[in-house]
Structure formats: structure tokens, C-alpha cells
């Protein structure tokens, strides 16, 4: 009897429920999304890639990238107020487009978040390997294991750590900007003195839009947010905050490099910004930089892992993944989290064993993640577009011929149509140019995942149709049989 009671207790701890506990405040969301950007690690990785492709033009391109992201952020701002379930982009597409496109969007979000998260892990791994000379696998475990521990511990401890780390990094990057222009004797270079070729700009933009996209980590957390309107507010604030901080940091470092005659260091170093800082500020500054980079790697990976696990959970809720992934323990989708850890491991282990250069591996993973990011946001843009059309149509039909009411309804939604149309155009154009700029490996992996996703969507939908057909036939048979 006691054994049966224990079994029942354990089952209730690991039970399937319809809703996660609402526990995240606006501050929690802001700093979780900020750590999804990994401000300091981004300065050493994504921002460095932007500099390598666009040189002096890079501070401006970081702002341009942020404006592209901001358009998509406005889309998310509006959609997050319409749909409040856990799942984010997947839920938007599911309700606004079709079930198949919803599944494909969720499928691509898992891909996007996993590759972004692993890219940041590899970025931290590279810093540890380069600066401390640690074995690559050891360096990876130093960053990956704490991320796993935080993921399994729950959202609130992660949010507290993100808040402390985020504030520290904003202050650190601003100090780097101030010291940079001070060492340049307050001379300011002109970013427009030499504009790079269009292909280089496109590739630089692919990395530039990766800088402020950490907000994508909080989109699936609507079901755990105390006030769901905070999702949209946090998204818009963190995009601009992250872009301004990164642009200032890059500008200060380039300014210092030019006017101290060290700019060539950027092209002859494996970690140009890190070496620039070490050359000018010594070993003590380097210790601070390494700590910030490792802390960022842990938290950014954690933020993306949370987004991945919640999307898996939401897809399982709608029978698009096995229902076992909806099971909770201590308000934590434990099996969805374990699957997330497995997915990240599947990407990390073969990658780091195959490609020995962690920085090159980071660029490859970042490029793949950037393409998937554009796809997911393209889906969100279409979600708002068709949602606005349906709402206009509904208002027109309910207007019963009242011209004034119809006209007012159309005006109220015209901004959504305009915004989503602009976002579709910008995102699609950026995606097409980026596909031409990345190497074949990144392109093939991205396209292959899309194809597999559509095949999986067909299988799931066909299975669902057959299942409901069998249930319907069974119900019809029971009604026809004599009592």
C-alpha cells in the first residue's frame, strides 16, 4: 500500500498539465533576453565577425542590423499581445497560418535556438582555449555543465543570475567605450569613409542581426509571464539597449585601434578584440574579460535552452511531438529540458570533434543560426499579416454595411498590414542575400532541416487525420450497433 502511494506521489510530481506557473516579472524577462544576447561574448564573437567583414563601417551596420531586428521585434510585440500561450513563434504560426506551417515554425525555432545557443557555448569555449590553453573539450564542459544545471533548476534562479551578470556587462562595455575614445585622445573616426562591397555588407548584416536577437529566447515564455504584455515591452527595450551598447563598444575599440596604430591587430589575431584589450590593459583586464565571456556563454546558452524546451513543450501540447514532453516536475518541463540538452549535445560533440578551430566553428554555427532566425521571423511576419486580414474581414462582415464602422476597422488594422508587409520585404531580402553569402555547408544544413521539417509535418498531419478518421468510424459504428 505504501509502495502504491509512493508511485502515485512520484507520478503527480511528474505529471502532464495544461499550464506552467506564472512567475516571471518584466525585470526577469528583460535580463533573460539581455543574456540571450550575451553582450560581452557578442562583442568578442558576433561583433568581431561584423568588423572583419565591414571594417570601419561596422558600428553603423550594427545599428542597421538592430533596426532590421526592431521591425521584427514590433511584429512580436503585437503578436505577443494576441497570443498568450507558451510556445511563442510556434503558437503565432499555428493560430495565424496553418497547422503544418505552425509545426514547421516550431521545428525551425528549435533549430534556430539550438544553433544560437551552441554558437555561444563554442564562443566561450574558444576564449578559454585561447587564453588559458585548456583542452577544447574541457573548456566546453566548463561552460556547458553549468548551463544544464541552471536549466534543470528552474527559471527564477536563472533570472536572478542573469540580472546581476547583465548589469555588470553593460557597465563593462560602456567603460571600454570611454577608455577607447580616451586613448584615441578624443579623436573620432568616420564610419562612412570606406563602404564595403554589397556581399560583405550582407554577410556582416547576417552577424549584425545576431547581436540583438537574444529577445527570441523569451518569446516562448508567455505562459510563465505574470503580465504577458511585458513580453513585447522587454523585446523592444532589449533590442535597442543591446544594439547601442554593442555599437559603442565596437566604436570605442576601433577608435582606439586606429589612433594608437594598432588597428592591424584586428586582422592578425585569432581574437582581435581580446588581444587589443590585453595589449592596452594588461593581464588584470584579461581576467575580467575571460570571466565575463564565460559567464555570458553559460547564461546565453541557458536562455536559448529555456526557449527551446518551452517550444518542445508547447508542440507536445498540440500533439506535434510525443505527449511525454508535456510532463512537469516542480513546474519544470523536465523531459522537454532533457531533450533540449540532448539536442545541444548532438550539435556540439560532432562539431567540436570535426572542426578543430573553435572560432571558425562559431562562425559556421552563427551563420546557420542566422538563417534560421530569419526564417522564424518571416513566419511571424506572415502571422501578423494574415491575422490583420482576417480581423479586417471579420469586422467588415459584422459591420452589416455600416460604412463608417468598416472604415474605422480597416484603419485600426492598416498599421499592422503595413508593418508586416515591410517586415516581410526586409526579412526576405536579407535572407536571400545571406543565402548567397554563406558557404555551402551552412546553406545545405539550413535547407536540409527545412525539408525534413516539411516531411515531418506531412507525417504528423497524415497520422492525425487517420487517427480522427478511426475515432469517427468507431463512434459511427457504436451509434449504429443495437443496444
Residue with cell 513543450: 313
Please answer whether residues 384 and 402 qualify as being in contact, where contact means their C-beta atoms are separated by less than 8 angstroms: no
pLDDT of residue 271: 66
Q: What is the DSSP letter of 195?
A: P
Reported residue count of the chain is: 483
- pLDDT value at position 11? 39
Q: Give residue-wise pLDDT tens across range 369-414.
A: 888 888 998 999 999 999 888 887 776 666 544 555 556 556 667 8
Nearest to 158 by CA among 233, 221, 244: 221
CA dist 429 and 138 (Å) reads: 40
Q: How far apart are CA 343 and CA 393, in angstroms?
A: 42
Three-state secondary-structure class, residue 111: helix
Judge whether 236 and 74 are in contact, CB under 8 Å.
Answer: yes
Alpha carbon of residue 370 to chain centroid: 9
Rounded to whole angstroms, the Cα distance separating 344 from 462 reads 29
pLDDT at 267: 65
| Model pLDDT, residue 335 | 92
Is the Cα torsion angle 327, 332, 334, 337 positive or negative in sign? positive
- How do 15-16 and 327-328 pair as beta strands? antiparallel
pTM value? 0.83
The CA-atom distances, in angstroms, between 25 and each of 87, 169, 230, 233, 264 are: 18, 21, 8, 12, 45
405 burial (CB, 10 Å; 0-12 / 13-18 / 19+) is: middle
Q: Which three cell numbers stand for residue 192?
A: 562612412
Report angle CA 110, 111, 116 to the nearest 5 degrees. Answer: 100
Q: What is the pLDDT of residue 162?
A: 80
Rounded Cα distance between 323 and 321, Å, is 6
**What pLDDT is attached to residue 478?**
47
pLDDT confidence of residue 266: 65
| pLDDT tens for the chain, residues 1 to 483 | 444 444 344 434 444 455 677 888 888 888 888 888 888 888 877 788 888 888 889 899 999 988 888 888 889 888 888 888 888 899 999 998 888 889 999 999 999 999 989 988 988 888 888 788 888 888 889 999 999 998 988 777 777 878 888 888 888 888 889 988 988 888 898 888 888 888 888 888 878 887 887 788 888 888 888 888 888 888 899 998 888 998 998 898 888 888 887 777 666 666 667 777 777 777 777 777 788 778 888 888 888 999 999 999 999 988 889 889 988 887 788 999 999 999 999 999 888 888 777 778 888 888 888 888 889 989 999 999 998 888 877 766 665 445 555 565 566 678 888 888 998 998 888 888 888 878 888 888 889 999 998 888 888 888 777 766 666 666 555 443 332
Q: Which of 136, 146, 46 is CA-nearest to residue 352?
A: 136
Amino acid at each position: 500500500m505504501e509502495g502504491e502511494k509512493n508511485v502515485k506521489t512520484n507520478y503527480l510530481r511528474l505529471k502532464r498539465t495544461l499550464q506552467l506557473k506564472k512567475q516571471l516579472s518584466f525585470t526577469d524577462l528583460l535580463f533573460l533576453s539581455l543574456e540571450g544576447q550575451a553582450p560581452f561574448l557578442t562583442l568578442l564573437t558576433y561583433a568581431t565577425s561584423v568588423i572583419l567583414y565591414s571594417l570601419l563601417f561596422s558600428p553603423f551596420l550594427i545599428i542597421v542590423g538592430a533596426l532590421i531586428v526592431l521591425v521584427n521585434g514590433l511584429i512580436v510585440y503585437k503578436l505577443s499581445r494576441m497570443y498568450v500561450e507558451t510556445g511563442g513563434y510556434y503558437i503565432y504560426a499555428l493560430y495565424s497560418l496553418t497547422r503544418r506551417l505552425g509545426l514547421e515554425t516550431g521545428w525551425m525555432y528549435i533549430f534556430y535556438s539550438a544553433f544560437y545557443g551552441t554558437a555561444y557555448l563554442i564562443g566561450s569555449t574558444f576564449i578559454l582555449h585561447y587564453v588559458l590553453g585548456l583542452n577544447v573539450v574541457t573548456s566546453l564542459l566548463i561552460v556547458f555543465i553549468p548551463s544544464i544545471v541552471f536549466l534543470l533548476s528552474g527559471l527564477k534562479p536563472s533570472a536572478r543570475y542573469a540580472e546581476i551578470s547583465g548589469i555588470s556587462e553593460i557597465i563593462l562595455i560602456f567603460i571600454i567605450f570611454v577608455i577607447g575614445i580616451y586613448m584615441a585622445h578624443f579623436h573620432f573616426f568616420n564610419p562612412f569613409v570606406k563602404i564595403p562591397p554589397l556581399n560583405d555588407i550582407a554577410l556582416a548584416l547576417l552577424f549584425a542581426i545576431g547581436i540583438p536577437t537574444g529577445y527570441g529566447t523569451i518569446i516562448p515564455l508567455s505562459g510563465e509571464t505574470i503580465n504577458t504584455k511585458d513580453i513585447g515591452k522587454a523585446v523592444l527595450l532589449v533590442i535597442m539597449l543591446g544594439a547601442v551598447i554593442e555599437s559603442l563598444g565596437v566604436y570605442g575599440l576601433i577608435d582606439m585601434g586606429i589612433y594608437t596604430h594598432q588597428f592591424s591587430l584586428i586582422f592578425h589575431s585569432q581574437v582581435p578584440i581580446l588581444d587589443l584589450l590585453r595589449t592596452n590593459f594588461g593581464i588584470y583586464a584579461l581576467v575580467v574579460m575571460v570571466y565575463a565571456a564565460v559567464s555570458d556563454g553559460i547564461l546565453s546558452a541557458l536562455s536559448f535552452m529555456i526557449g527551446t524546451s518551452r517550444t518542445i513543450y508547447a508542440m507536445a501540447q498540440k500533439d506535434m511531438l510525443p505527449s511525454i514532453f508535456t510532463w512537469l516536475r516542480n513546474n519544470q518541463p523536465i523531459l522537454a529540458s532533457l531533450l533540449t540538452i540532448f539536442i545541444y549535445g548532438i550539435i556540439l560533440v560532432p562539431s567540436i570533434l570535426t572542426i578543430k578551430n573553435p572560432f571558425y566553428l562559431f562562425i559556421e554555427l552563427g551563420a546557420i543560426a542566422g538563417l534560421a532566425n530569419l526564417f522564424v521571423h518571416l513566419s511571424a511576419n506572415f502571422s501578423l499579416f494574415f491575422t490583420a486580414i482576417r480581423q479586417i474581414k471579420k469586422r467588415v462582415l459584422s459591420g452589416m454595411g455600416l460604412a463608417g464602422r468598416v472604415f474605422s476597422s480597416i484603419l485600426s488594422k492598416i498599421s499592422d498590414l503595413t508593418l508586416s508587409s515591410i517586415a516581410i520585404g526586409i526579412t526576405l531580402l536579407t535572407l536571400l542575400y545571406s543565402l548567397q553569402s554563406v558557404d555551402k555547408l551552412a546553406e545545405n544544413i539550413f535547407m536540409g532541416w527545412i525539408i525534413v521539417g516539411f516531411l515531418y509535418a506531412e507525417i504528423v498531419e497524415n497520422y492525425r487525420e487517420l487517427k480522427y478518421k478511426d475515432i469517427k468510424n468507431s463512434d459511427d459504428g457504436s451509434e449504429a450497433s443495437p443496444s
